[in-house]
A and B are shown apart, each in its own frame.
Chain A
């Protein structure tokens, strides 16, 4: 009985086109009552205590407002959750699956969508969808050039920023060309996470934007005929800097936190992060010295959005929908943007908010090292996923196995 009710409710949600922003349609009421008392297993990367604390805080709000409990399953890699849903499908588990909600984007999303492992479309039917800044932040509906089509709902914006210690480096290089000169002049003081790590490939994308004759070709899938010629400038750039990298390019940090640790330990002078507020938050937490500042490159840096998605066999789908909607709530979004909490950029359109909700954002102190929104420069679109798959494969062959 409950089961039929639940299926009906989600079917309605899925079938409905756009709902107005300020509505509580009966279908949503049905989802809310279905969700009450559910525990949502949210699989999210668990490597950052600040994010874990934030999810715990969201859990409290979900409990108070909707009677939904969130249990964060802390992953070392989002791919673990993807592999788990795939394993369940292979084992014939089509309902009652372990994963209710996944923090996801990029390749993981593309893989799950292609394999039909996702529930949806659901995102554009969420009551809070009307607040999302689709026009101003196209990345909220385009995940690595792949249209999300409502199979995932955005919750945070990110843009690549470079971090440096102004006490050691008064004036950082602000373009890819000057960065190259600086690396060569200061051997051993720069590195990037080892591709295929996500942050490592992001650096390669940034290099591609700065060196390719026409970066816009990367918005379409790789054309095998011209690929080698197109990407040649990337390898030329890397060949020039590699001997002057940290450890002469004989070892690379594993991921973004490892790179951040190198900056904190003073092993490198310039690091980078996908969260423009990370440096301020780390200074506030006593992990980085107060003299750290951030900058972006002339011409812009890569930007994208983080999403949540619901697997096809989620045991607590209604609860997952409620959580996906809740994290689009202005109060939750403002808290995520607070640099002392997370420092993530909001996905909402501030102009669409009520004055009271907008005041929550205006009141935020962005922090000593965070660039103001008008200093960030343009957010460059993510290339088509096939480019990064090819480029990181080639990277592994060129630099990833010992010569």
Chain B
């Protein structure tokens, strides 16, 4: 039972190697061929006429969506936190964290297309449209539909991250103090809480920015196509049948990586400017009383807008999965049918099973590593530096198209590629950061005096861990596990590349199906994709309540 003390101490290092190793190995595998033998590819890339617009589009949609998502998140917390509307929004938005990007994008596409649900609901009685109008709403050259999709998908993530970080900022007291000095609630938040909060939120924001610039599945569904964003074009080149464009694809991936780094540097500059601005507000004694009602209205409208876009889009897909003929401008299907569910039943059951096995193994591995790290930190009084945190985020910051092809080559050479185990291992790279981030704060907040009392009564550190800390932390551990499940279930590129196409999960199937545009089938897959993580979150709520039903101090409300 008793572990040698040295082993646990190695856990943080081991975890970082497991995270960084694949990213570095994959990057080298992708970049070396691009830089050395295929120098000509760079010339080809530069002579592609769409390069300028594609790069600009990547930067614009990435930056705009991050700015908007961050602004909406902060606005919600600043002006609504503590209100009933905020609690309602929080309950609506948290389960949507687990919605895969592709499903959210397809739902949004059906919602806003000229032949989509909104137009159907208003036609022909309000609009007079007997046939869909010829309006460029989806795939618009400006990338606004893509930006909207990214914003809707990232607000739940940032909100969750912000709410997790808020308790560590002593927000309530800071805010109270600013308000007693006469600042309106939102201004009090901006000058007193935001600086401390943003320090915690910085890396999640960077991850959102990097993701927004490099998203492939969303860009293919919602983004423009003449030209598409750079990352979508890189994937098109990778898939070119003549095999002649693989060099240019690698060069494009390198350019994408540098673009992300450059934009991150610019963003850092923007942070400095924003800080100056906040300081000016504070030193000039701006209290923002007049703006408060407008800000509240804006927060309510944008929060409700995000929730509507996601929920209505996904309901639309769910409805399609049981729809018979559903032509424009009918607001509801003309007939109903369970045919798709009957037809897809076997395939669905099988890929659900594979998805679950992979997600559970990856999450278990990530949880074990996270717990080992946190416990080592506690027992040996280790203090992770900022550098370690950046490394933790590395897999989320490096564009997937830049390192996964190299990682696939590595897996091929090792002969492990194409096995569910290898896929689960690759998922750990992406699951671990999320699990760690969701578990670290509650774990560190545990009252250390409990351990002290137990030690005084003669309990070993192991016994304290297994019989006291872990049970008391069960809900936090399960919640982190549910987040991990959701992340693993949503992975597309790692599953496709490391799985060699032979490991079929709900997400790989759903994206393959989305190329066929069959809304009914996509709806069925998206529904299961949402239900699985939702079950995880439900379990995280119910299990502790059930296990500790006769422990008043550990109730769900506590």
Q: Which residues of A contact B (CB under 8 A)?
A: 41, 43, 45-49, 52-53, 56, 71, 73-84, 86-88, 90-93, 98, 106-108, 110-111, 115, 168, 187-189, 194, 196, 246-248, 250-252, 254-255, 257-258, 260-262, 264-267, 285-287, 289, 389, 396-397, 399-402
> B140 to chain A: which residues have CB within 8 Å?
250-251
Bound complex: CA A76 to CA B515 (Å): 6
Cβ of B347: which chain A residues have Cβ within 8 Å of it? 52
Q: Give every chain A residue within 8 A of B521 (Cβ-Cβ).
A: 49
Q: Which of B408-442 contact A (CB under 8 A)?
A: 408-409, 412-413, 417-418
28 A-B pairs within 8 Å (CB atoms) are namely A46-B512, A47-B518, A49-B343, A49-B518, A71-B502, A73-B501, A73-B504, A74-B508, A79-B240, A79-B241, A86-B246, A91-B413, A98-B417, A168-B131, A187-B134, A189-B134, A196-B240, A247-B135, A247-B136, A248-B134, A251-B226, A261-B517, A265-B113, A267-B113, A286-B335, A396-B49, A399-B226, A401-B49
Contact of B343 among A53, A79, A80 (CB under 8 A): A53
Assembly CA distance A81 to B512 (angstroms): 13
Question: Do most interface residues of chain B lie in helix, strand or loop, or is the interface mixed?
Answer: loop
Q: A47 to B513, Cβ gap below 8 A?
A: yes
List B residues 310-348 near A (Cβ within 8 Å): 324-325, 327-328, 335, 337, 339-340, 343-344, 346-347
- Judged by a CB distance under 8 angstroms, whether B50 is at the interface is yes
Kindly list chain B residues whose C-beta atoms are within 8 Å of the C-beta of A76: 511-512, 515
Is there an interface contact between B509 and A74, defined as CB atoms closer than 8 Å? yes
Residues 212-242 of B contacting A (Cβ, < 8 Å): 220, 224-227, 238-242
Bound complex: CA A71 to CA B516 (Å): 20
Partner of A115, one of B132, B243, B335, B418: B243
Candidates A86, A93, A251; contact of B224 at CB < 8 Å: A251
Please tell me the number of chain B residues within 8 Å of chain A, measured between CB atoms: 63
Q: Which among A43, A76, A107, A255 has the greatest number of chain B C-beta atoms within 10 A?
A: A76
Interfacial chain B residues near A402, Cβ < 8 Å? 53, 141, 224, 226-227
Report the Cα distance A261→B242, complex, angstroms: 28
Is B139 interfacial (CB-CB < 8 Å)?
A: yes
Question: Are B132 and A265 in touch, CB under 8 angstroms?
Answer: yes
- Is B519 at the interface (CB under 8 A from chain A)? yes
Most buried by A among B49, B138, B339: B49
Instruction: Report if B500 contacts A (CB, 8 A).
Output: yes
Give the chain A neighbours of B361 by CB distance below 8 A.
none
* Complex Cα gap A76–B507 (Å): 12
With CB as the reference atom, state the residue of chain A lying closest to B133.
A188
A27, B393: Cα distance in complex, Å? 58
User: Is B114 engaged at the interface, CB distance under 8 Å to the other chain?
Assistant: yes
Question: Shortest beta-carbon distance, B218 to chain A, in Å?
Answer: 14
* B115 and A266 form a contact (CB under 8 A): yes
A83 lies within 8 A of B343 (CB): no
Q: Which residues of B contact A48 (CB under 8 A)?
A: 516, 518
* Cβ-defined contact, B513 with A46, below 8 A: yes
> Considering the chains assembled together, what is the distance between the CA atoms of A264 and B333 in angstroms?
13
| Complex: A65 Cα to B269 Cα, angstroms | 69
Q: A52-B347, A98-B502 are in contact. List 16 more A-B contacts (CB 8 A).
A: A47-B516, A73-B504, A75-B501, A76-B511, A76-B515, A80-B496, A248-B136, A250-B226, A261-B517, A265-B115, A267-B132, A286-B325, A286-B337, A397-B49, A399-B226, A401-B226
- List the A residue with the shortest CB-CB distance to B138: A251
- When the two chains form their complex, are residues A254 and B337 in contact, meaning their CB atoms are under 8 A apart? no
Nearest-neighbor residue (CB-CB) of A96 within chain B: B415
Select which of B115, B241, B496 is within 8 A of A111 by beta carbon. B241
B515 interface neighbour in A52, A77, A264, A267, Cβ under 8 Å: A77
Across-interface contacts of A82 in B (CB, < 8 A): 241, 243
What A residues does B225 contact at CB under 8 A?
Answer: 194, 251-252, 254, 400
Contact across chains for B50 and A401 when beta carbons are under 8 A apart = yes
The digit string for B122-154, where 1 denotes a CB below 8 A from any CB of A, is: 000000000110111011110000000000000
B141 x A41 contact (CB < 8 A): no
Which residue of chain B has its CB nearest to the CB of A90? B409
Residues of A with C-beta under 8 A to B227: 400-402
Cα–Cα, bound, A49→B518 (Å):
8
- B243 lies within 8 A of A86 (CB): yes
Tell whether, in the assembled complex, residue B134 and residue A247 are in contact, meaning their CB atoms are under 8 Å apart. yes
A350 to chain B, nearest CB (A): 30
Cα–Cα distance between A286 and B519 once the two chains are bound (Å):
13
Contact, CB under 8 Å: B246 / A400: no
